[in-house]
């Protein structure tokens, strides 16, 4: 079938909550970085994609939607490969995003910044290559964040794209996807403290965005 929704928003823009929300709305399973970490054999496929030999159908076999990294790093390729997919772009305040990223996925001791030559280290290096090298520079990173949104808006037809502000709830998302609004509250997952606590509890090699 292929993906029905491609998420182009960067990690720490509510993507874990969105993964759950899309599943509630009937667009699951939804791919997210945590899926890669739970299925580390797929890292080799992502490394092939990084080398210019992607097998998107194999990577997303069984999934109806995808959000977060690594998907967001390949948004141009994926929105082209799945031309019928709607494009969901999650955003938040750029400075708030930088603070969140700096404390979680790009913290100095994070798995994403660990060196090495094993598959996991190479996989995370491939993800980081799609971000600025100056990961600790607020100006560089916030400009990257803002520019990313502008590039998505310039490349994707407006009728295919929803710019979704983190925390805004169900209404616009459901209208965009053409589904009823659920009676349950919108999911609220993976706050900064929850991210850090999960990473510490699960130990090296496991984290989520």
In a domain, 208, yes or no: no
Dump pLDDT digits (tens) for 67-113.
999 999 999 999 999 999 999 999 999 999 999 999 999 998 888 88
**Number of domains the chain contains:** 1
How much is the pLDDT for 192?
44
In a domain, 196, yes or no: yes
In a domain, 16, yes or no: yes
In a domain, 69, yes or no: yes
How much is the pLDDT for 111?
87
How much is the pLDDT for 190?
55
Q: Is a pLDDT exceeding 70 seen at residue 197?
A: no
Of residues 18 and 117, the one with the higher pLDDT is: 18
Dump pLDDT digits (tens) for 126-159.
999 999 999 999 999 999 999 999 999 999 999 9
How much is the pLDDT for 117?
85
In a domain, 39, yes or no: yes
Dump pLDDT digits (tens) for 20-68.
999 999 999 999 999 999 999 999 999 999 999 999 999 999 999 999 9
C-alpha pair distances (Å), 109 with each of 102, 106, 202: 10, 8, 15
For the chain, the maximum distance between any two Cα atoms, rounded to a whole number of angstroms, is: 48
In a domain, 138, yes or no: yes
Of 187, 199, 148, nearest to 16 by C-alpha is 187
Range of the domain at 18: 5-202
In a domain, 207, yes or no: no
CATH number at residue 162: 3.40.50.300
Q: Does the model's pTM come out above 0.85?
A: yes
């Amino acid at each position: 079938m292929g993906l029905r929704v491609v998420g182009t928003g960067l990690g720490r823009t509510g993507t874990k909550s969105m993964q759950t929300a899309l599943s509630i709305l009937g667009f699951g399973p939804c791919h997210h970085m945590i899926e890669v970490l739970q299925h580390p054999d797929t890292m080799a496929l992502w490394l092939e994609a990084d080398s210019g030999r992607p097998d998107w159908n194999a990577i997303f076999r069984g999934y109806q939607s995808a959000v977060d990294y690594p998907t967001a790093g390949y948004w141009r390729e994926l929105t082209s490969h799945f031309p019928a997919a709607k494009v969901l772009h999650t955003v938040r305040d750029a400075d708030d995003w930088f603070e969140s990223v700096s404390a979680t996925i790009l913290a100095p001791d994070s798995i994403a910044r660990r060196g090495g030559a094993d598959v996991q280290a190479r996989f995370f290096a491939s993800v980081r290559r799609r971000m600025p090298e100056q990961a600790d520079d607020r100006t560089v990173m916030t400009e990257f964040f803002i520019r990313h949104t502008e590039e998505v808006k310039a490349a994707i037809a407006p009728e295919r794209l929803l710019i979704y502000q983190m925390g805004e709830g169900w209404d616009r998302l459901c209208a965009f996807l053409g589904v009823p609004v659920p009676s349950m509250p919108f999911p609220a997952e993976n706050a900064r403290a929850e991210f850090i606590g999960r990473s510490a509890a699960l130990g090296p090699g496991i984290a989520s965005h």
